[in-house]
Structures are given as structure tokens and as C-alpha cells.
Amino acid sequence: MKNVLRNALLAVAALAAMGLASLRAEAAEEYIIRVAFIGAESHGSYITLNEKFKKDVEERTGGRVKIEIYPNAQLGSDRQAIEGISIGTIEMAVVGGSSLLTLDDRMTIMDLPFIFKTREAAHKAYDEFLTDEFNKYLEPHDILILFSGELGYRHITNNKAPIKAPSDLKGLKIRTMENPLHVETFRLLGASPTPVAFSELYTALQQGTVDAQENPIGVIVTSRLFEVQKYTSLTGHIYTTAPFIISKSYWEKLPEDIRKTISDILAETKTYQRDIIEKQNSEFIGELEKAGVIINDLSPEEKQVFIDLCKPVYDSFIDKHGDELIKRTIAIQ
């Protein structure tokens, strides 16, 4: 009997030792998260990644997680980063939300022109239901949106004249993303949309391959596009997010305590990122003016003319996907 008891105690001790060794091994294991970002180090999203996300994650996980950030498209375009996450060659990226649209046509709701009257309304819609809805669509691609950050409203720059009415866009060669919804929007407005890769945009503007482009103010300034553009018109035609995305399978393989720590940090990071983008966008308007760029805003009446011309884009979305999500998005405002 004594031998049986002794053997049982030894077995329990051995199992406990094995469990302790396993816990120690897990605690000692280091996780590396490579983050792709197409923009420059001066952009608010990079500053957020470097000064907030990386700093807090590495400190609060005791060095168990290392964050490696690759700005300036070092790991490729947004589309290449998204593909890298899907196939497991990159863990994480911060991309322009529009780059995700090719993965599921239902996500084009995010780029419907003039759907968000204010950035606060956009934040509310994304935080309350749109991000969760999009994550359902992205699951087959092994992509998880950790949160929907901000790029801001897109505005038009060009070298011809201020844009005050759709007639000012007639025949204008404007660079758009390789995005059917963006292309169709500018066709409706009378422009001549020309998809160009972002990495080639500065040169295309400089050489006159295109006359105009449209981007959030932060992108226009940090990528120095204003150096080859004379006019900036604050059309605010599309509100653009900056989703912080990660490989869903990689995320789920992280130890539970690390996921909990990172989740807590992400809640803080979202507020930090949105605040710094808003601050930068306000300051960047002044920088454009100092650089000699001619800036014009649109009155509500002028903007309404653009809104009315874009109605067929909404009709097309509703024909394909119904109006439930559009109604919910508009109602939240």
C-alpha cells in the first residue's frame, strides 16, 4: 500500500514538474509580429505603431512579444501586405480600408461617397457594428480587423484649377485606386479616372501622366504629393479607415494572456491613432498653405451637387446587397 501511495505521489510530482516546465517554456517563448505599412514615418499611423503600440506591447509583455514595423512599403503595397497576411508570410499590417474591398464586395459600403456626415458618426458605426460585420466577410481570408483606425476624408488635388463643381472635373485625368467603386464615382462626376499604384503616384503627377489625385490630407502631406500639385479642394467625398489587421490564425495561436494584454493595448491605441490623425490633418492644412498650395472648401450647397450625382453608386450597392446595412449606417448618424 505504501509503495502504491509513494508511486502515485511520484507520478503527481512528475506531472507537476512537466507542467511547470511547459509553462516556463511558454513564458520564455518569443513572438515576433511584423507590421507592414505603406506610408512614411511621419504619418500618424506609423507614429502610433512606433510610439504607442510597439512600446506598450513590448513593455507590458515583458519582452515576450517583439514588434517589427516596416514603413514606406518595404513589404509591398497594401494589396501585397493583405495577401501576405492571408498566406501567412506577414503577421500584421495597417492598410487603407479601401484595399480590402476586393476581398468581399459587401465591404464597398465603407467607400460609398458621402455616407458619413462626420468622423464621429464614422467612428460610431465602425465601433458598434461595421468592424464586426467586416470580420465575418474576412474570415475566409484568415484576416482579422483588430480595430478600424482613421485615415480621414479624401480630398482632391490637381494642377488645373480649384474643384468647386462637378463641371470642374470634366475630362480631368485623376488617379484613383484600383477600386471599381472609386472609378465609377469619378466617372459619374465627369472626371477621367485612371488607376495608378500608389508607389508610382508622385512620378505620375510630376510627369503629367495624371493631372489630379485624391487622398486624405495626411497622405497628401506625408507623401509630399503637394510638391507636384497646385490646388487642394476639400471635397471630403469618401471617409477612409486605416484598419489594423492581423492574421486570424496567428492571433488565435498566441497565448491567452498575451492576447488579453494586446487587446487592452489596442483599445488605447485606437483612441491614440484617431486623435493623432485628427491633430495632424488640422496642422497639415496650414503646412499646405505655407507651401503655396491653393486650398478651397465646398459649401453645403456645392457639396450637395456632388452627392446627388453619386446616387447611382448607392442604387448599385442596394441592387446587389440590399439596403439593410446602409439604413443602419445612415440611422446611426
Which range among 175-179, 269-273, 323-327 shows the weakest confidence by mean pLDDT?
175-179
Q: Is residue 24 part of a domain?
A: no
Whether 21 maps to a domain, the answer reads: no
Domain containing residue 285: CATH number = 3.40.190.170
Which set of grid coordinates corresponds to residue 289?
498653405
Residue 333 confidence (pLDDT) = 81
Q: Is it the case that residue 2 has pLDDT exceeding 60?
A: no
CB 53 within 8 A of CB 265: yes
Task: Answer whether residue 111 is part of any domain.
Answer: yes
More confident residue, 14 or 95: 95
Count the neighbouring beta carbons within 10 Å of the beta carbon of residue 31.
17
Q: 182-208: per-residue pLDDT in tens? A: 999 999 999 999 999 888 999 999 999
**pLDDT(273) > 80:** yes
Assess whether pLDDT exceeds 50 at residue 16. Answer: no
Q: Contact at 8 Å (CB) between 157 and 213?
A: yes
Sole residue written with cell 507590421: 35
Encode pLDDT of 91-146 as tens digits. Answer: 999 999 999 998 999 999 999 999 999 999 999 999 999 999 999 999 999 999 99
In this predicted model, what pLDDT tens digit does every residue of 27-48 receive, in sequence order? Answer: 568 999 999 999 999 999 999 9
**Percentage above 70 pLDDT, the chain:** 92
The answer to whether residue 284 sits within a structural domain is yes
- The domain total for the chain is 1
Work out the average pLDDT over 269-289: 95
Query: What tens digit of pLDDT does each residue of 242-260 get?
Result: 999 999 999 999 999 999 9
Residue 237, in any domain of the structure: yes
**By three-state DSSP, how is residue 151 classified?**
strand
Asked if residue 127 belongs to a domain, the reply is: yes
Identify the H or E element spanning 77: none
The Cα 240–Cα 266 span in angstroms is: 19
Domain containing residue 279 = 29-331
Q: What is the pLDDT of residue 8?
A: 45
d(CA 285, CA 303): 19
User: Is 12 part of any domain?
Assistant: no
In angstroms, the CA 122 to CA 324 distance is: 17
pLDDT above 70: residue 216: yes
- pLDDT (mean) for 252-278: 97
Q: Is residue 310 part of a domain?
A: yes
Q: What per-residue confidence (pLDDT) applies to 6?
A: 52
Task: Report the chain's mean pLDDT, rounded to a whole number.
Answer: 92
The SS3 of residue 202 is helix
